[in-house]
Structure 1
Amino acid sequence: MPVPEGSDDAPTAPPVLAFFDIDNTLMRGASLFHIGTAAWRRGFVTGRDVARFLWHQVRFTAVGENPRHQASARAGALRMVEGRTEQDLIELANDTYEHSIHLRLIPDTVALAHEHRDKGHEVWLLSATPQVMAEVIAERLGLTGGVGTQAEIVDGVYTGNLVDSLMHGQRKADRAAELAAARGAPLVDCWAYSDSRNDLPLLQLTGNRVVVNPDAALERHATAEGWPILTAKPASVRAARRRIRREGRTVAAEPQQPPA
């Protein structure tokens, strides 16, 4: 006998997760540079360190990510946090958001994230940026949560080492799969957004993928695969929002859980 719609005994539809990259997807440029600038204002790093962050920003904006730039940025970020407390980094992340990040958010991509949220989807930020920065951006935007690169903390102080590998490439896809599995979310229903060829493992993981202002390699791949490509043109943005409304399964709101 069918269960009446709305009954307490009716089966609960599984959740839908939408994963968003941050740098050059949700915001213009590299978040790490802006963290470095905020750290300089607080005396955490030198002007030379900030100059290196600036060079990384220029290269990232011009040619996208590559392993050498990622390794250099990671080393700089670990030097910056070594010996700092958890509270130091929380304050630094909020300072970075207030002074820089919110000014560089891409309104169209933020609108897509909110479109997913309004459909009852969980919206997760996945980024190589430090964990605390990913969490602050997600909180400020009213999203489910943020997952970034986690630096090691011992007795409340950062050691300058990583807990695991950089939240990048295959590691990002693995974490997305863990989040979906923990929530019982079918990957075929999930969504992923990124600008970088390095996020192909994440994009290929989900049933719905959208490339945002892609680098040349990702644009070629997306074109060959017939994936939607979002540009800054109003028509492109409207089409992306209509696709979420049309194809994104609506999910009843439930209390959100912390990362597994």
Structure 2
Amino acid sequence: MHEVTAPPSSHNAVVAFFDVDNTLMRGASAYYLSKEAWRRGIVGWRDIARFAWHQFRFVAVGENHKHMMNARERALEIVGGHSMQTLIELAETIYERDILPNLWPETVDLAKEHLAKGHEVWLITATPQFVAQVIAERLGLTGALGTRVRAEDGLLTGELEGHVLHGPEKATVATELAERVGADLAECWAYSDSSNDIPLLSAVGNRVAVNADVKLTHHAQTMGWQIMPLNRAGLKEARKRVKRQAKSVRKSSR
């Protein structure tokens, strides 16, 4: 199970869930993690070449379940034996140099639109938790749900704590979070580019296919879901929908 650490909230909470790779940013964040690990001598040329191939394929043709799982698992393996503080510092480095320049401004602006409505905005991603958390903190979002690595005596083992946060697992964790913060999933939102996130998108009342792959585009069209192209017109329409349809939440004065 993935630990949900959100504080208790009022029962009128609304959550907007955002996928990271190819939704919030261009490319796969695990690739940048591996590249920085190589710079620091944690992995060798063979590892970085493998990750470079995954990154190229991901950007060119979209997410493939088998390749994605292999990349995620290898990215988690390479952190074994290192302290959490070391990995947080690594994540902060890749955020500034690699992730920030590759953020999609349209999706970031949409996340901030939800914050302006009083919504909680959570990243939900197969990316390692320590990377997702840095992204969320730097963007001023509520929090992040990512794949966790087991730690013993302050050192990461390289083994997963629970499952890779992917596919149906995202829907499960999103449901747990909604219950924790007192949100009605029918009022919540989810944004993703991948057909692998159909379970997550189906779990909420408001779903948006962002920069969608072919399979998700077809499914969204069939189901009548909103499709948001990554351009100014797409952002404008998505913002209008949030302003028009999303429930505003007043923050408690306590």
Q: Give your verdict on TM over 0.5.
A: yes
Percent identity over paired residues = 53
2:225 aligns with 227
TM-score where L is the length of structure 1:
0.91
* 1:13 shift after superposition: 5.9
1:139 aligns with 137
SS of the aligned residue for 1:217 comes to helix
Equivalent residue runs for 1:168-247 within 5 Å: 168-247=166-245
TM-score where L is the length of structure 2:
0.93
1:116 aligns with 114
Residue in structure 1 matching 2:94, options 91, 96, 107: 96
Please list the CA deviations of residues 78-131 of structure 1 after superposition, one character each: whole Å capped at 9, or x if unmatched.
221011111111111001101100000000000000000010000000000000
1:32 aligns with 30
CA RMSD of superposed structures (Å): 1.4
Contact 1:13 1:251 (C-alpha < 8 Å) held by counterparts: no
Unmatched segments (≥5 aa) in structure 1: 1-11
Separation in structure 1 between the aligned mates of residue 134 and residue 251 of structure 2, nearest angstrom: 22
- Compare 37-46 and 94-103 and name the one that shifted more: 37-46
Q: Which has the larger radius of gyration?
A: 1
Q: How many residues align?
A: 245
Structure 2 residue identity aligned to 1:244:
V
Separation in structure 2 between the aligned mates of residue 120 and residue 162 of structure 1, nearest angstrom: 33
CA gap of 1:235–1:71, structure 2 versus 1, over 3 A, is closer
- Compare 17-26 and 58-67 and name the one that shifted more: 58-67
Please list the CA deviations of residues 61-83 of structure 1 after superposition, one character each: whole Å capped at 9, or x if unmatched.
12222221123112311221011
CA gap of 1:169–1:254, structure 2 versus 1, over 3 A, is farther
Separation in structure 2 between the aligned mates of residue 37 and residue 255 of structure 1, nearest angstrom: 44
1:45 aligns with 43
* 1:225 shift after superposition: 1.0
Structure 1 residue identity aligned to 2:183:
A
CA gap of 1:55–1:178, structure 2 versus 1, over 3 A, is same
Separation in structure 2 between the aligned mates of residue 233 and residue 21 of structure 1, nearest angstrom: 18
Unmatched segments (≥5 aa) in structure 2: 1-9
Please list the CA deviations of residues 28-72 of structure 1 after superposition, one character each: whole Å capped at 9, or x if unmatched.
010010111111111111122111111111111122222211231
Say which structure, 1 or 2, has more relative contact order (CA 8 Å, 6+ apart).
Answer: 2
Contact 2:186 2:205 (C-alpha < 8 Å) held by counterparts: yes
Separation in structure 2 between the aligned mates of residue 158 and residue 208 of structure 1, nearest angstrom: 37
